Chain A
Amino acid sequence: MSGAGSVGDERAGGTDVDRTPVPDADVCIVGAGPAGALVADRLAGDREVVVLDAGPRFDPADRLARQERAIRPHYGRPDVWGVGGARDAHENAGDWFYPLNHARVKGVGGSTLHWQGMVMRLHEDDFSSGTERGVGPDWPIDYADLRPYYAEAEKELGVAGASDNPYAPPREEPHPMPAFEPSYSDSLFAEACESLGIDMHSVPNARNSEPYDDRSPCVGYGTCQPVCPSGAKYDATVHVERAEERGATVIDRAPVERLDHDGDDRVTAAVYATPDGERHRQEAAAFVVAAGGVETPRLLLLSASDRYPDGLANRSGHVGEFFMDHLFAGAGGTLDEPTRQNHVGFYTSACDQFYDEADESQAPFKLEFFNYAGPSPVEMALTGDDWGDTLLERLRDGYGNHVAMGGLVEQLPDADSRVTLADDRTDDRGNPVPRIEWTVGDRALDTIERANEIQVEILEELGADVEWVAGPDATGPAYHHMGTTRMSDDPETGVVDARCRTHDLDNCWIASSSVFPTSGAMNPTLTIAALALRVGDDVAEWLGDET
């Protein structure tokens, strides 16, 4: 079927699918995003695995139509993957507005369906912020603990990268694929950066620079975020399909409404709804909650019981607290020469030079050199009241000489930045919706200004007419939900232990960026993947011990 308006209604039909519980399941995973998919793939084959996801299974044949939605002005970001409505209702109550439904996709594949696909490892100091930077908690694990899992995650996702970044943490072997070559505009930036003594280097992409894992290399559709029609960009359907081939059962449109437990601090069942209006109980020996930084704490809070009146796994009282995202810092303008933007939808060069200057007053931050600055001609063509020669003239005037830089800044964990349950608003199943109170501290805002200073300095050295700066007053989130079930060795200060198992329940793990005690300033998905692979190993070992 063709056309943006012909995308199937993901929430209609499909009632003839068997969504009943799987008997004798070893593991029940809540969420079919990258974390859940990797855990499922890790365990499938040897164990009876069930994955429940609140959203639909998207038809791969609709990818081009979703691309059209990404380009056409009528459709907003949530429309591309059918986010919104009563299912995804939420409240904002914090100092800062959080655009939650722009920041997630519900369904098989999760938010990797719309992500940018940048996959950096956290730096060594990110694991010991309290010790090394004097702020925030240390993680109960360090870089060395996660290092082998990072390498494995890079292979699983398929990462194109190079070892030319002098500021990156140590690695043991090359990336699975060569890095994407620098862009033409990178070469323009390189001259300016060299004269300023600022280093540029390649950036790891979860995007095929060559055929990999039976998937196409990038063909340059230019709509990476929010949809890659070619499959060159990794998304979690890769591991969902692999897990299913090896015997896992994935049930879509099955929102888990609560986790039941017994009197021995074990989860016994995930109670989920199905499109036919029925409710089911999926029992299993072990449970892995992999529903992201918002729905994970929500599910635990929805699972309150007489034994756990404040929510499951919440004896610490910290479930939902310390909600974090990365803050965007950016600047851009125009040159008096062509800059060749918008041929691809990803960036190829970055600067981590200033990252480890972080201390109590300055957050870690990274800088990015965009390949998609300024307007896309085709998107420009679909707005305005002109056509014919007049339109062409406008497009030629508007496209061709833009440059821009971006950057991500860490925000510190703050208990008042949190996800709770709304008092009097419910979703399509009658369950309280998530209530988000997002707050950002001065350290992050001051660091945005610092990033802006460097960005403007580079742009001016480049000879650009700087036309915009996204500073503290114009910043926004990078759609990386983190921190709401933090990891700690101490059951009083964290929700999960160093192995991502909940302190309170012996058979319940959390695989998500929600376990991050601090966020660093690197895109989180590679760390999510590494932690998920480790959870997979731990669950396998635990099941072995149990039997």
Chain B
Amino acid sequence: MPNQIDELDEELRELLRRKADAIGPPDGLERTMRRSTRRLARNAVVALLTLGLLGSGAVAGVRSLGGATGTKPADTSPSPSPMPQASGSSGVRSAVSTEGVTWFHPTPEMPLGLAGADGTLWVASGGNIAFPAPASDPGAEAGVASLARFDVDTGKITTVEVGQAGDVGVAAAFGDAWVLRRSGEVIRIDGVSLRKEASIRVPNPSEAAADGSLWVVSLGGTLTRIDPRTNAIVATIDTGVPATRGIENNGDLVPPNNGVPATGVSVGDGSVWVRGGGRVVRVDPETNAVQTTIDLGGSVDGLAVGPSGVWASVCGPGGPPCTWQLVRIDPATNAVASRRVLGRWESSAMPGVKGSIGRAGITVDSGSVWVSLAVNYNQYARGKILRIDPATGEIAATLVVPGSGGTTVGVTEQANTSDIFGPALIEGGAVWVINIESGEVVRIDLPGF
């Protein structure tokens, strides 16, 4: 801090005081009271609904890594809280829980990527990417991207830096974390030591999945196959999905739609499946060749492969506005076996429309298909988790993900802030969701895994 008090400092103090005084009295008391009353009522309803789910057995119980089981949350404040740790740090993060939902905060700034395997959860955070350094002061504001390792049993969290702030994703494979830097790099981080094992140049990596190899799809639609024994690229495959470069931001590429990668990849049923544009492309790992391209129309947002088939969330036919559908592809025929309407994305304009669904992520386990929805994306968004019975395609359970400490991140008529939920993930007997804007990682304990 500069200790010297010069003329400019004094002028600045005077300027701020006078500008602040000139703003006048606040208005909106009545409006604030109405909104807060509605929110409190909504919180009560959500609490009752959640308790109802508990009673029906849909919610397994309370799991708290930071406090006593079953207690009310100690704090939902925007926090006088510990600093995000920068490098090589570890500790048990603060967590609050209520009725089967646990919030972990703070995570490093801007969590964007979520992956998990073998009881370990990985969260990749972009750092301060919203405030890029000005050209006159490069590096001054950018900060660092980081990777956090959550032990889902103990709550221990260890964080390492993974380069300059920027858009990131993460995959868990071969016991390690693979950090995807959209700027053109895949970084392999040792799952135990958290040391950097390798850096592999891959153009604009979007998502990755693994069977015997690591498969990385680029924003441009290229599929890159990496041998985990040598960390060498052994094949690059043009999948033919539409190239999407993303938005240039501080020299980095930010995928459109606030972090939803335009392309994605999943493995299962002996194939590699790539999504991009309105298509799902099936690749044969034996030949590294495209087997078939399935046109689903619209835009494919989520893709997951499980025992019940290949599942995709599609918003189409054009738009937004468009209609979200949960589509199941039968891998035996490569044909669409079922479609189920999930809702509408009414508009991408700000402010959004109440009830509008801005994104739909999918994850699959042996017994269920889980759909993570961000409702009313451009205003406050509610995270909503649907559990789908793969046999019938019907919704077996619905849970609105509350915000910190039991307050609902509710839909309001105000349009100047939002809470954006990323895709869900299942690990360690729970559904995990990241909240991009609040920087929270949310754990929802549900049975049936």
Partners in one complex: no
Q: Which residues of A contact B (CB under 8 A)?
A: none
Q: Which residues of B contact A (CB under 8 A)?
A: none
